Chain A
Amino acid sequence: MSALAEPVREESRLRSMVDFYGTTIRTAIQSEFQYRAATYMYMLGMVAEPVIYLVVWSTIARSHGGTVAGLTPGDFAAYYIVWTLVRNMNIVFTPYGWEWRIREGQFSGLLLRPLHPIHYDIANFAGGKVVWVLFYLPIAAGLSIAFKPTLHVSALEVVVFLVAIWGAYLIRTMALWLLGLVTFWTTRASAIFETYMMAELLLSGRLVPLKLMPGWAQSLAAWLPFKWTFYFPIEALVGNLSTASLLGGLGMQLLWTSVGGALVWVCFRASVKHYTAVGN
């Protein structure tokens, strides 16, 4: 009997998964739209970071005859304006939020569902992205008027970029989920989070285009997942990557997503045994 029932079940599982993602994404879009003022204020704080980097490096470029490490102020402007779009895309459920999740008993509810809880986070934040990116576009236009980026893109670059921002989103989701799982084991996980954030800041291209980093740091970054969540998607659009590096980069993203996904799967099973609910 089971041999007969199996294919039907698989199919309905896929359908209910698609349905789940669709519904969660739609709900997230609607709820994000409700708090427009708050979202804009949050973005204003977020945009400060790339603007600071942009101003500092443009100042240096200008005082050195127009370029630093081959980059002009216009290149920096393009880099950091696209940076913010990528940043919007790769904000995911924060590891700091896990403490709240556990403390408030929120996680117990997610555990009761017949679905791995990571699906909810992926779908929920994916829906938020649609709204955030939409809200960011006027800010990007304003920044472009103020800082005059130089940007030449090909069709392939645009396509790769559009895929790569979702790759970046998935890699970062896996990475921060793994970090979040640490809270199942200790209540003082924030020191670990901060260490991760520091490594990410320096080795992902978040702080500066990796070109500006010393050679050894660039080689180190090549072995780590960070650059595939910031540097690669940005460079895919603003840099002049060859077709091979563009497609190879997507391959690397797929690799890191799979590695992250496998680790989440294994670590979650081990961690959830440690889970004790607190609260109501």
Chain B
Amino acid sequence: MRPFRVGWLFFRVGAMNELQYRANFFVQLFKSVLALGVALVVLRLVYSHTAELNGWSESELLIVLGIQLVMGGIVHTAIQPNMQRLVEEVQDGKLDYALTKPEDAQVIVSVREVQIWQLVDVISGGIVIAVGVAGLSHGVGAGDVLAFAGLLLLGAVLIYCFWLIISTGAFWIIRMWFIAELFEGIFATGRWPIGIYPGWLKYSLTYLVPIGFAITVPAEAVTSRLQWTTVVVAVGFAAGLFAFTRWFWRFGLRRYSGASA
């Protein structure tokens, strides 16, 4: 429970900090509305040329888009700011301050930053999912919703692991200014069901970069495509990746010498 208590504490401090800058909320709202507008235009454009994309209807793709927005909101609120700070601190040798704290280092580097205004995307994504679900021809049962929520959480864990693994690379590569662009580029692939990608890319986007598990699989839960085997594989993969991430983080940390020392 301790990691969660520490996380909650940092979240409250971060939120209070951000609440001082309320105008940023409107800037973020404007950007989110704009990004959503573009995404909807793209969807409309695609479906003006076809009735279905690889078996997915427009409403179903709205759900995929909504999930990608929600996941993006979570990443930008709580994951990416922490990981970028980690990379910067490795480069500047400031990570010492985090390492000397009497708490698990991985927990500390994962919870220090929070950008609450980014949660706007979670809300707008939620609305898009709701609109998409309303347009489905079949109903969504309580079981589907439960599976969806669970898989979404699992997806967030997977993306956290992925971010921490590439950020840990900073212990070797040092200069990692490209990291945000790299992630955004790959993350954008999640806006479409990964089934449309050619085989080599599909498997990379599932196991190498867990976008498929994080976005397409929760979408499958809502659109009655989910198979039990997928859930089992997803849970097993998440547990394995989490353990690997923990090991890899400690392995990388051993290389850290600090610049100030």
Question: Interface residues, chain A, CB within 8 Å of chain B?
Answer: 35, 37-39, 41-42, 44-49, 51-52, 55-56, 59-60, 63-64, 68-69, 146, 188, 190-191, 194-195, 198, 201-202, 207-208, 212-214
Contact = CB atoms under 8 A, between A and B. Distances in A.
Contact of A59 (B35, B54, B186, B191): B54
B185 A60 contact: no
B185 A48 contact: yes
Contact of B188 (A52, A64, A195, A198): A52
B31 A190 contact: yes
A44 B182 contact: yes
Given A55-B197, A55-B198, A48 B45 contact: no
Contacts of A37: 173
B177 interface: yes
Nearest to B183: A45
A59 B31 contact: no
A38 B49 contact: no
A46 B34 contact: no
Given A188-B27, A202-B38, A207-B42, A60 B50 contact: yes
Given A63-B53, A194-B34, 17 more contacts: A35-B175, A38-B176, A45-B184, A46-B181, A55-B192, A55-B197, A55-B201, A59-B196, A60-B49, A63-B50, A68-B49, A68-B50, A190-B27, A191-B31, A194-B30, A198-B38, A208-B45
Nearest to A63: B50
Contacts of B196: 55-56, 59
A69 B49 contact: yes
B189 interface: yes
A229 to B, nearest CB: 18
Nearest to A64: B50
Contacts of A56: 46, 53, 192, 196
Nearest to A213: B45
Given A55-B192, A190-B27, A42 B181 contact: yes
Nearest to B179: A41
B31 A194 contact: yes
A212 B42 CA distance: 11
A197 B34 CA distance: 10
A107 B200 CA distance: 46
B28 to A, nearest CB: 10
Contacts of A201: 38
B41 interface: yes
Given A60-B46, A191-B27, A49 B175 contact: no
B186 A48 contact: yes
Contact of B189 (A48, A64, A69, A208): A48
B50 to A, nearest CB: 5
B100 to A, nearest CB: 29
Contact of A146 (B35, B178, B192, B198): B198
**6 shortest interchain CB distances as A-B pairs:** A45-B185, A48-B185, A45-B182, A42-B178, A45-B181, A41-B178
A47 B50 CA distance: 25
Contact of B185 (A47, A69, A188, A194): A47
Interface string B47-83: 0111011100000000000000000000000000000
A214 B42 CA distance: 12
Nearest to A191: B30
A195 B35 CA distance: 9
Interface in B167-214: 173, 175-179, 181-186, 188-189, 191-192, 196-198, 200-201
Nearest to B177: A38
Contacts of A212: 45, 49
B64 to A, nearest CB: 12
Given A38-B175, A48-B186, A198 B42 contact: no
B72 to A, nearest CB: 14
B1 interface: no
Nearest to B195: A59
A195 B34 contact: yes
A244 to B, nearest CB: 30
Contacts of A63: 50, 52-54
Contacts of B176: 38
16 contacts: A38-B178, A41-B179, A42-B181, A44-B182, A45-B183, A46-B185, A48-B186, A49-B185, A49-B188, A51-B189, A55-B192, A56-B53, A60-B46, A63-B50, A190-B27, A191-B30
B50 A41 contact: no
B236 interface: no
